[in-house]
Structure 1
Amino acid sequence: MKKNIGFLNFGHWTPSPQSAVRTASDSLLQSIELAVAAEELGVDGAYFRVHHFARQLASPFPLLAAIGARTSRIEIGTGVIDMRYENPLYMAEDAGAADLISGGRLQLGISRGSPEQVVDGFRYFGYDPGPDGDHAEMARRHTRVFLDALRGEGFAEPNPRPMFANPPGLLRIEPHAPGLRERIWWGAGTRATAEWTAKQGMNLMSSTLLSEDTGVPFHQLQAEQIERFRTAWAAAGHEFEPRVSVSRSIFPIVDARDRAYFGGESRSNDQVGIIDGTTARFGKTYAGEPDQLVAALAEDEAIAAADTLLLTIPNQLGVDYNAHVLESMLTHVAPALGWR
C-alpha cells in the first residue's frame, strides 16, 4: 500500500554549540529549507509542531505561508495546533491565506493541547475556560467555531454604510479557502477521542503517544484507535473519505553518522508513564540497518492501517542531516515495504 510520507519538525533551538539550530531565526529558516529539500527528494509532507512559551516553533501560519511560496507540490501542515490558545475566526483568516498561497496544500492538525511550559498558558492569551475550568471543552468550543468559519457561509451582519461595497447577504470570513474544511485533522490521544473526531468530520492524527494503556503493544493499541475511528466515520455518513496519519521515530543506519547518533536506539521498546495524572503509552524508536527496519515496520499494525506516516526528525542536527534521513527512508526502506 502506497503511503504518504512526511516529516514532523518540533523546531527546537538552543544556544548550545552542539546544536545546528541556535536561534529562533535558525529554526524558522532551516524549517523552510528542509521543506524545500524534502520536496526535491519526493517527500509528501512537511509538518510542524506548535508549542507556546518554548524555544520551539509557535506561530505556524507565517512559516506555512513561506513554505507554500517556496514549494509547489509538498503538503504543508501542523501536528498540532493547541486550540486552547486560538482565536478561531482570526485563525480561519490566517489559515485561508496560507492555503491560498500554497495552492490548496494545507493540512492542519489541531487538538485540545498537551502539557505546556507554563501553568494555564492560554489565560495569558486572553482565554478563560469559565467557572468549570474545563480547558478541553474550551478547545473544542474554539474548534467548532473554526470549522464553521471554514465552510465559507455568511454569518455576520453587514454594515449598511460600509467603507467598501459588500456582496449581498451575510458576510463570511475572508479569504475563503475552498476545500480546507476537509483538510483539518484532530490529534487524538485515546480511542474515545478518535471516535469523537470521526463524528466531527475531521481526519485522524495519532502520534507516538497515547494517553491510555491497555497492556497491549503501542502499535496494536493505536491500530484499534484507527479501527474505531473508521467505524465511527462510516456511521456518521460524511461525504468525503477520511485520512489517518501516525507518527514514528525511524532512523535507517546506513553510514557512520547514523550509527553514532542512533546506533544505541536499536534496542528501543515501548514505554509506559504518567502524564497529567493519566497512564500513557509511548511508542518505541525504530533504528537499525534497512533490512532490520523493513522487517520490524512490516509488523507495525498501526502503520499498516494508516495512509500517512510522519517521521519525527531531530531538527537540531541540521538540514543536511535530516534530508539524509528522509532520503534513506525513501531509498532503502519505503520501496521494500511497498510504500513507494
Structure 2
Amino acid sequence: MSRHIFLLVDAHALIYRAYFALPNLTDTEGHLVNAAYGFTRMFLTAISHFEPEYSAVCFDHKGKTLRKKQYEAYKAQRAKMPDDLIPQIALVKELVDALNVPRFELEGYEADDLIGTINRKVEHLDNSLLTVIVTGDQDMFQLVDNDTHIWMPARGRQQGDMEYDQVLVKKKMEIKPVQIVDFKALSGDASDNIPGIKGIGKKTATKLIKRFGNLEKIYEFLKEQPEGDDLIKGALLNRLKEGKESAFLSQDLARISTKVPIDFKLEDCRVTAYDKTQTIQLLNKLGFKSLIKLLPTDAFENSVQEALF
C-alpha cells in the first residue's frame, strides 16, 4: 500500500538552481523571472508526480544565522544574492500563496533547519506519512530514513528527476545518511566553508567513517593511543589529534537542526483547493503560460477533499 505524502520544499535551493541554469526570461513588464519560473515548474512537477496530502515550503531568512554567529567564516566565500534575484524571491512567495500552500521562514535559521524540524515533527505526529523533501542540496541527504526521501529535480535534459531513499544515498555517498554529518566534520565542505580537518579529504574521511561509524568513536579510539594501526598512523594520526576542535565545530555546522522553535500544525499543511482562476491570471502576468497545464487539476482537488471524509 502506497503511503500518503508530505511534500516539503527547499525554496532557496530550487530558486538558486533555476537562476543559474535558465536563460534570462522576462515577464510582460521586462523584469527578470527565470528563477521564479524554474521554481514554479519544479514545484508543480513535484505536486503532479507525488499528489501530496500535505505540503509546505521553507525559505531562508535574510538575517544573520546562528551558524554565522557561531563561526564567522561560515559561507563567507559566497557572493551576495544577485540584485535581479532579490525581487524574484517575493514572486515565488506570491506563487506559493496563490497555490494555498503554507510557507515557513524564521530569523536566525536556514531553510534546512526548518525542513529538518518539520520533518521530525511530521514523523512524531503521523508515522504513516512519507515526507518527500524537494531540493537540489545534497546536505539534505542526512535527513533520509524510513520516513523521509529526497527528490531532486533534473539539472538538464540529459538527467532525470531522482528520488533518494537510504539505499540510493548510500550508493551515491558510500556511507549511510546518518553518517554524512560526521563525514563533513572530517572532510569539511567547501561550498559552505565548513573547515573540517586540514589535510583530510573525502577519500580518507570515507575510510574513517566506514571503519568507525562516527566521529565520537574515532576519538574514543585515539584515547587508547593506538600503535601500528593500518589506517590511523603517521600524518593522519597527527591531523586527527590537532584537528579535534575543528572537527567537532564542523560537526555542529554541518548538522541540520530538528529543534527550531516554530509553530507547526500538521492540519494547517493539508493540501486544499486553491483559487485556480487567480493563479492562472498570475502565471499569465508573469509570462508562465506553459506552466498552466501543470496546475493541480480539479480532479486532484476533489480527491483531496474526499480524503477529508
Q: Same fold (TM over 0.5)?
A: no
Which of the pair is proportionally richer in strand? 1
More helix by share: 2
- If asked which structure has higher relative contact order (CA below 8 Å, sep 6+), I would say 2
User: What's the TM-score once normalised by structure 2's chain length?
Assistant: 0.30
TM-score, normalising length: structure 1:
0.28
